[in-house]
Amino acid sequence: MRSILVYADRSPAMEPRLQSALALARSFGGHVTVLIDTPTTRYIAMDPMGGSYLSAEALANAMAEDERQAAALEARLAREDVAFDILRSDVEAVPALATAARLADLTVVSRSSRLAGELALNSRTPVLLLPDDRALTVPLARACVAWDGGDEAALALRLAAPLLATAGAVQVLTVEEKPSGFVADDALRYLARHGVSAELVELKREGSTEATLAKAVAAAGADLLVMGAYGRSRMREYLFGGVTRHFIEDNAAPALLLAH
C-alpha cells in the first residue's frame, strides 16, 4: 500500500483522514495524493424557460476557496516526512476519485462524506472508510475480517493483507449463510502465507447478520473491519438493508476497508 489517495474537503473529518493517509504512507514507505474537486455541474442553474446557465461568480468563488485550500495543504504537507502531490478535478467526487484511484492502492474517505458505497461500486481500488472523529493508527492493534466465502470477501481480504500484517491480532469472523464459496480455512491459509496469524471465530447468528457481526467486532475492540462490499445487489440493500449498508452508516463502527 504505497500509493494512498485521500479525498479533501473542508469538513472537521479532513484532519483525521489526512493523518490516517500519512500514517499509512509512513508505514509502507509510500506516497499521499490529495484530491480536491470543484465540480462545475454544481454551479449550473435552470431558468424558468427550461434553459440552463453557469453561475460564473459562484464557480469562481468556489475555485478560489479550493485554490486556497490546495495552497494550505501543500504548505502543510511540505513539513511532513511523506512524499505527496495534490490533484484538482472539475467533476463530482465519486468519478473524480474513481479515475484518480486507477493507479492507487487505497482510497481514504470519511463516513460523513457518504461517498464510500458509490465509490466501492465504481472503483477497483479498495476504500478505507474512517470514522469522522479519529484517525487510523498504524500499525493496527486489532483487526477483524467479515468472511462469508463470497468473491467480494475474498477480494477485500486479499487487498487488505498488507495492512492486516501490521495488526497485533486478527480475527476472521464467520456467520454461516452461504452454502458455497471459499471456506474460512482458505482465508486463514492465505493470511498465513502473508505473515498474518489469524483466529477463526464462528458466530452463532443472533438476529440479523449485521447485528451479529457488529457485536463481535465491538467485543474484539477492532480498529479495522475488512469486508466485501455489496455481496448482493445495491437495490436490495437499499430496500431491505444489509451488512454493507449497516456498517457504512453505523457511526459506532470502526474504520472499514471495503472492496467490491
> Do 156 and 71 belong together in one domain?
no
> Do 69 and 102 belong together in one domain?
yes
> Do 98 and 160 belong together in one domain?
no
pLDDT of residue 221: 97
> Do 13 and 121 belong together in one domain?
yes
* Residue 251 scores a pLDDT above 50: yes
* Domains in the chain, number: 2
> Do 148 and 249 belong together in one domain?
yes
3-state class percentages of the chain: helix first, strand second, coil last, to nearest 5? 45, 25, 30
H/E stretch holding 238 reads helix 234-240
Grid cell in block for residue 9: 474537503
Residue found under cell 494550505: 72
Among 74, 109, 130, the domain-final residue is 130
pLDDT tens, residue by residue, 90-100: 999 999 999 99
CA-CA distance, 228 to 150, in Å (whole number)? 8
Grid cell in block for residue 13: 473529518
Please spell the DSSP secondary structure of 8-46, one letter per residue.
Answer: --SSTTHHHHHHHHHHHHHHHT-EEEEEEE--GGGGEEE
Among 130, 151, 176, the domain-final residue is 130
The pTM is what? Answer: 0.90
> Do 32 and 109 belong together in one domain?
yes
Is residue 212 a contact partner of residue 221, using CB atoms and an 8 Å limit?
no
> Do 109 and 14 belong together in one domain?
yes
Grid cell in block for residue 64: 478560489
pLDDT tens, residue by residue, 20-78: 999 999 999 999 999 999 887 776 666 666 566 567 777 888 889 989 999 999 999 99
Q: Is residue 137 part of a domain?
A: no
Q: Any idea what the CATH number is for the domain that residue 67 is in? A: 3.40.50.620
Among 104, 130, 156, the domain-final residue is 130
* Residue 85 scores a pLDDT above 90: yes
Q: Is residue 136 part of a domain?
A: no
CA-CA distance, 131 to 134, in Å (whole number)? 6
> Do 119 and 150 belong together in one domain?
no
Least confident range of 23-37, 59-73, 187-201, 232-246: 232-246
> Do 90 and 158 belong together in one domain?
no
pLDDT tens, residue by residue, 126-169: 999 999 999 999 999 999 999 999 999 999 999 999 999 999 99
Q: Is residue 244 part of a domain?
A: yes
User: What's the Cα-to-Cα distance from 5 to each of 19, 162, 172, 198, 219, rounded to whole Å?
Assistant: 12, 16, 27, 28, 31
Q: Is residue 149 part of a domain?
A: yes
pLDDT tens, residue by residue, 101-122: 999 999 999 999 999 999 999 9
Mean of all residue pLDDT scores within the chain: 91
Domain of residue 71, residue span: 3-42+54-130
For 126-154, letters b (16+ CB in 10 Å) and e give bbbbbbeeebbebebebbbbbbbbbebbb
Q: Is residue 160 part of a domain?
A: yes
> Do 97 and 120 belong together in one domain?
yes
pLDDT band at 240 (very low <50, low <70, confident <90, very high): very low
Q: Is residue 47 part of a domain?
A: no
